């Protein structure tokens, strides 16, 4: 479906999906849903709310809250179905096989998310003993419900830049060995180790990659002063890891697909003595990805990564609508109004991107 014209001045692709996004909840949804729905059809919504989305009833209620924030004009035009939030369950030490069975039968739950306890925002309810999840993983295999992973160990003695690599060796390899048909997505991979690991597995293992991990490395975060809006978890890594991620994302391999991990935090919570982890990119995600792909002359590979491979992995049809990107510069807004009078600062706020979405 990719159409490129005028020496790659315009690119029309099938409408993308975001296979990893944080919309948050309640008043935050007025901002995050609008931004996500402007570019994406399906979005896989992370369950790390407070309290978390632990079962089908939680998931159904959360989905309804999301849908209530679609613009009234969209609803009147009958476009509600054009934005399809897909739910995930938060895997805890108390999750049961019955929870998995009901999720698989619900029609709205797409996957189950594993957060190692303490790994990232609102992960205190995460799994503390992976060996206690055996019956749940068996149920997920049985009902063909994928496992999504925040792939980091959380031991205090492990260097923050090594936590993903250690997770591959100590946790993920064991899960795959014990549950060889379990579909797994290693989310927001950040290292060449993770890319190589995913490539070495069968088709049941895939990965998402964020725009920030394609475009930036830890120098962007740390040189000339700490940049709080580049701080995310897993943290940005060395340049050589960034280059490998860009190569696999643009390779045409169906094992890698779009997942922004867009994570809103109010500006004053990011620019604080103990700033929150997470980059907000949903509103500008497609221009960011286009810029990254075009930086190595692979803009023609964007549609597979953004619009096809994720749907194929989840066994869903690709979208029929299209989005056109144009090689006209856009200035990223300095910020967006957020709830309770707060502001929300996007990734690359105030800077210029060479690609934009054609109206």
Q: What are the binding residues for Zn(2+)?
A: 20, 22, 113, 150, 188, 261
DSSP, collapsed to helix, strand or coil, labels residue 139 as: helix
d(CA 206, CA 311): 12
Closest C-alpha to 321, from 13, 3, 10: 13
Active site residue 27: no
Closest C-alpha to 311, from 87, 75, 2, 16: 16
Q: Name every residue whose Cβ is closer than 8 Å to that of residue 189 and which is 6 or more positions away in sequence.
A: 151, 164, 195, 198, 207, 208, 209, 213, 245
DSSP, collapsed to helix, strand or coil, labels residue 11 as: strand
110: tokens are: 């797409």
Which residue has 């205190």 as its token pair? Answer: 124
Helical residues (DSSP H) of 156-299, grouped into ranges: 163-167, 173-178, 192-200, 211-215, 218-222, 239-249, 267-270, 285-294
Residue list, annotated binding site: 20, 22-24, 48, 113, 150, 188, 233, 261, 265, 277
d(CA 123, CA 116): 7
The CA distances from residue 290 to 155, 158, 171, in Å, are 36, 35, 33
- Determine which one of 84, 99, 193, 261 is catalytic: 261
Edge-first strand order for the sheet with 42-45 is 18-21, 42-45, 84-90, 109-114, 147-149, 184-186, 205-209, 256-258
d(CA 3, CA 286): 16
Structural contact between residues 321 and 7, judged by C-beta atoms closer than 8 angstroms: no
Give me the residues paired with residue 44 across strands: 86
Residue list, annotated binding site for substrate: 22-24, 48, 150, 233, 265, 277
Closest C-alpha to 291, from 333, 254, 332, 321: 332
Active site residues: 261
């Amino acid at each position: 479906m990719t159409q490129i014209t005028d020496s790659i001045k315009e690119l029309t692709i099938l409408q993308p999906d975001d296979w990893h996004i944080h919309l948050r909840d309640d008043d935050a949804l007025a901002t995050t849903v609008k931004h996500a729905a402007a570019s994406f059809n399906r979005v896989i919504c992370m369950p790390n709310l407070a309290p978390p989305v632990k079962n089908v009833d939680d998931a159904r209620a959360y989905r309804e809250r999301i849908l209530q924030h679609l613009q009234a004009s969209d609803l009147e035009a009958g476009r509600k179905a054009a934005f399809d939030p897909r739910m995930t369950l938060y895997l805890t030490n108390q999750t049961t096989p019955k929870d998995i069975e009901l999720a698989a039968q619900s029609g709205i739950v797409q996957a189950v998310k594993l957060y190692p306890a303490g790994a990232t925002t609102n992960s205190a309810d995460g799994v503390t003993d992976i060996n206690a999840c055996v019956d749940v993983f068996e149920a997920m295999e049985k009902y063909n419900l994928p496992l999504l992973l925040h792939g980091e160990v959380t031991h205090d003695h492990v260097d923050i830049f090594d936590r993903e690599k250690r997770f591959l060796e100590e946790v993920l390899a064991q899960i795959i060995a014990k549950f060889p048909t379990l579909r797994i997505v290693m989310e927001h991979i950040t290292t060449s180790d993770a890319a190589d690991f995913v490539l070495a597995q069968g088709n049941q293992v895939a990965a998402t990659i964020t725009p920030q991990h394609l475009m930036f490395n830890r120098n962007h975060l740390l040189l000339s002063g700490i940049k709080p809006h580049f701080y995310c978890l897993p943290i940005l890594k060395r340049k050589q890891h960034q280059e490998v991620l860009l190569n696999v994302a643009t390779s045409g391999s169906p094992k890698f697909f779009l997942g922004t991990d867009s994570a809103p935090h109010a500006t004053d919570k990011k620019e604080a003595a103990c700033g929150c982890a997470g980059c907000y990119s949903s509103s500008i995600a497609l221009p960011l990805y286009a810029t990254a792909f075009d930086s190595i002359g692979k803009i023609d590979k964007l549609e597979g990564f953004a619009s096809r491979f994720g749907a194929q992995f989840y066994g869903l049809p690709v979208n029929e609508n299209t989005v056109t990107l144009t090689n006209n510069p856009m200035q990223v807004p300095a910020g967006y109004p957020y709830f309770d009078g707060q502001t929300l600062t996007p990734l690359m706020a105030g800077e210029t991107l060479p690609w934009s979405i054609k109206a």
